[in-house]
């Protein structure tokens, strides 16, 4: 049991015994003690002051004295500052923790809890390659999946590919009109880039045609409707929906080019999925649910035949679920797919990693599923995230101004190469080892920078800033891990390994601070899982790396004061490297053995 859980347990018991309450450990809030106060962990008392009709000082003193007297092996002292009861834990506790935990390979991860969770992320369109926004989406989705796994959940990773609709037809028409039979192979172009170029081409030609029609006296609305390339695209969409063979053949061929390109990018960035859904196979789902919703009174029909749901009582508005011509809308398809996924995987929670521009959509989706009493409707969760911008501003895919994911990854690896060579510490690496190291650093910097921010916040991505070996960055943490591994290699013959050691000397402040941070790791993982927020892990592992560097600057390991201190510091170093590696792994980031 961790110190936090133990403190919650003894505090709830003490309050119940002293004041005849019925508290459980979950009612107690425990935080790490602030640096300006003396102590290791703090019990926050404000929630009980009104109920017990006591001053914070009196409550803190009575609780502290009772707990200290009953648990002398766990605590050595306490102090009360306003509504905060600060406990100092005994060295005996910390030494026992290090002995029990320091060499556990899976320290911090929880046992399986039997609960199933589905995480849906990426959701690309097949008319363009993945871009910077997709990278934040993929890194968030995969990291939260790994964090949930570490917290004991059985996780299924899914992706829905938007492979139909007017946008797809725009690329198809542009290819028909202008490609002269060119292919990704004949032009030596990656498939998704190849198709994306024709999406941009469509918009360029469309603009020119609209300008010509405007000059001929047409209104803007008329010009946009009558532009020949747009009329051809709309006809192609009708032909696709009718299953016209030559259109279906072209659609399948161009999508296959895109899928090959996507797969190459996914492998490059470390994204993977257990199941991929395609909108062309799911867009008709949910129609039967409209009928059942009408029968149960959840939906209502307007005189024109369209079907709606009234969500005004829930603070929203009326929402269309079936058009008057009988065709479904996106929300209907999503309801149908939610039902299909639930049947396939029986997940109690379904997490959708989608940008914050879809916040309203997912509120509606969850409400409708709840009102239809669909299985696991309460478990629908929208992991909403903010837009990623560059220092130069927003991106626009139709104008070809997005930051392409492949180009950005290549740029990051190149910056990693330049910065590493500037430091000049890799002269004994082979060419293959150097290429792998640049890859580890470049991708690590990119992922960490995009994950270190609370998902809900918008952010500005600066490639140069993300690769700083001294800042709040992935490379700083990677360098710390490599530094520890170097220390351990040099001390291999004197490292006590996992043998039991009896420590007799007091922990020095930085030794204790590092130990306390290591002990917090399981609760950080749990908090990140509960809040669906990988930035909790990113901030934690950065602070751990900072503390280790302060510890190593202050205290010699190889030339420690005595054998006991050397053994303690080696164990702390090995434990820190292990926790750094696990933390970075759940963020999808590799750490090198040397740098």
Residues 6+ apart with CB under 8 A from 586: 143, 146, 147, 149, 150, 525, 534, 537
Q: What is the average pLDDT across 372-392?
A: 90
Residue 498 clears pLDDT 70, i.e. is over it: no
Q: Which residues pair with 77 in a beta bridge?
A: 88
Using 50, 70 and 90 to split pLDDT, how confident is the model at 491? Answer: confident
**Nearest Cα residue to 191 out of 212, 177, 175, 206:** 175
Phi-psi domain of 497 (left: phi exceeds 0; alpha: psi -120 through 50; beta: other): left
pLDDT at 17: 95
Between β-strands 116-120 and 349-355, what pairing exists: parallel, antiparallel or unpaired?
parallel
Using 50, 70 and 90 to split pLDDT, how confident is the model at 496? Answer: low
pLDDT at 105: 84
Q: What is the 3-state secondary structure (H, E, C) of 216-257?
A: CCCCHHHHHHHCHHHHHHHHHHHHHHCCCHHHHHHHHHHHHH
Reported as a single tens digit per residue, the pLDDT across 29-41 is 999 999 899 999 9
Which domains are assigned to the chain? 3-89 (3.30.1360.70), 165-279 (no CATH), 405-586 (1.10.730.10)
Stronger pLDDT, 460 or 393, i.e. the higher one:
460
pLDDT at 395: 44
Give the chain's mean pLDDT: 93
**Nearest Cα residue to 494 out of 552, 570, 572:** 570
Q: What is the average pLDDT across 381-402?
A: 71
Q: Which of 137-146, 238-247, 310-319, 325-334 has the lowest mean pLDDT?
A: 325-334
pLDDT at 389: 83
Percentage above 70 pLDDT, the chain: 97
pLDDT at 390: 76
Stronger pLDDT, 595 or 524, i.e. the higher one:
524
Stronger pLDDT, 283 or 440, i.e. the higher one:
440
Q: What is the average pLDDT across 248-258?
A: 97
Residue 236 clears pLDDT 90, i.e. is over it: yes
CA distance 266 to 141: 13
pLDDT at 469: 87
Reported as a single tens digit per residue, the pLDDT across 507-524 is 999 999 999 999 999 999
pLDDT at 399: 47
Residue 263 clears pLDDT 50, i.e. is over it: yes
Using 50, 70 and 90 to split pLDDT, how confident is the model at 398? Answer: very low
pTM of the model: 0.91
């Amino acid at each position: 049991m961790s110190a936090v859980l133990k403190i919650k347990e003894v505090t709830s018991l003490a309050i119940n015994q002293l004041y005849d309450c019925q508290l459980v450990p979950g009612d107690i809030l425990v935080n790490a003690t602030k640096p300006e106060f003396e102590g290791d962990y703090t019990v926050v008392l404000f929630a009980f002051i009104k109920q017990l009709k006591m001053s914070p000082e009196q409550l803190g003193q009575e609780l502290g004295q009772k707990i200290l007297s009953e648990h002398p092996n766990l605590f050595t002292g306490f102090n009360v500052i306003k509504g905060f009861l600060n406990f100092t834990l005994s060295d005996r506790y910390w030494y026992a923790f290090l002995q029990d935990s320091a060499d556990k390979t899976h320290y911090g991860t929880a046992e399986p809890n039997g609960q199933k969770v589905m995480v849906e992320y990426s959701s690309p369109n097949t008319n363009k390659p993945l871009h910077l926004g997709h990278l934040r989406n993929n890194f968030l989705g995969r990291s939260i999946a790994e964090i949930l796994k570490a917290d004991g959940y059985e996780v299924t990773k899914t992706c829905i590919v938007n492979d139909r609709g007017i946008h797809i037809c725009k690329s198809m028409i542009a290819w028909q009109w202008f490609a002269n039979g060119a292919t990704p192979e004949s032009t030596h172009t990656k498939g998704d880039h190849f198709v994306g170029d024709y999406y941009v081409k469509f918009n360029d030609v469309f603009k020119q045609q609209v300008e010509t029609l405007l000059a001929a006296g047409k209104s803007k609305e008329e010009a946009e409707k009558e532009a020949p390339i747009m009329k051809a695209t709309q006809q192609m969409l009708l032909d696709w929906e009718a299953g016209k063979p030559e259109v279906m053949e072209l659609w399948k061929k161009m999508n296959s080019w895109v899928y090959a390109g996507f797969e190459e990018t996914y492998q490059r960035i470390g994204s993977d999925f257990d199941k991929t859904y395609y909108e062309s196979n799911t867009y008709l789902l949910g129609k039967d649910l409209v009928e059942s919703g009408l029968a149960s009174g959840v939906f209502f029909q307007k005189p024109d035949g369209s079907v709606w749901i009234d969500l005004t009582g829930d603070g929203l508005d009326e929402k269309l679920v079936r058009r008057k011509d009988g065709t479904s809308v996106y929300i209907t398809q999503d309801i149908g797919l939610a039902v299909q996924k639930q049947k396939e995987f029986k997940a109690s929670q379904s997490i959708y990693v989608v940008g914050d521009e879809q916040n309203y959509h997912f509120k509606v989706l969850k409400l409708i599923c709840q009102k239809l009493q669909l299985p696991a409707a309460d478990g629908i969760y929208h992991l909403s995230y903010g837009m990623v911008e560059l220092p130069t501003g927003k991106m626009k895919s139709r104008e070809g101004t997005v930051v392409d994911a492949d180009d950005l990854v290549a740029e990051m690896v190149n910056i990693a190469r330049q910065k590493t060579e500037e430091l000049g510490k890799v002269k004994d690496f082979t060419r293959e080892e150097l290429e792998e190291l640049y890859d580890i650093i470049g991708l690590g910097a990119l992922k960490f920078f995009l994950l270190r921010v609370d998902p809900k916040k918008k952010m500005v991505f600066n490639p140069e800033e993300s690769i700083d070996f001294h800042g709040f960055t992935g490379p700083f943490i990677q360098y710390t891990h490599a530094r520890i591994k170097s220390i351990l290699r040099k001390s291999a013959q004197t490292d006590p390994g996992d043998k039991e050691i009896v420590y007799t000397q007091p922990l020095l402040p930085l030794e204790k601070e590092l130990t306390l941070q290591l002990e917090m790791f399981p609760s950080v993982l749990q908090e990140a899982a509960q809040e669906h927020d990988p930035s909790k892990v990113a901030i934690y592992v950065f602070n751990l790396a900072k503390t280790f560097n302060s510890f190593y600057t202050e205290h010699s390991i190889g030339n420690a004061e005595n054998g006991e201190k050397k053994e303690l510091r080696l164990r702390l170093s090995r434990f820190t490297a292990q926790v750094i590696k696990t933390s970075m792994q759940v963020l999808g980031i590799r750490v090198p053995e040397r740098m």
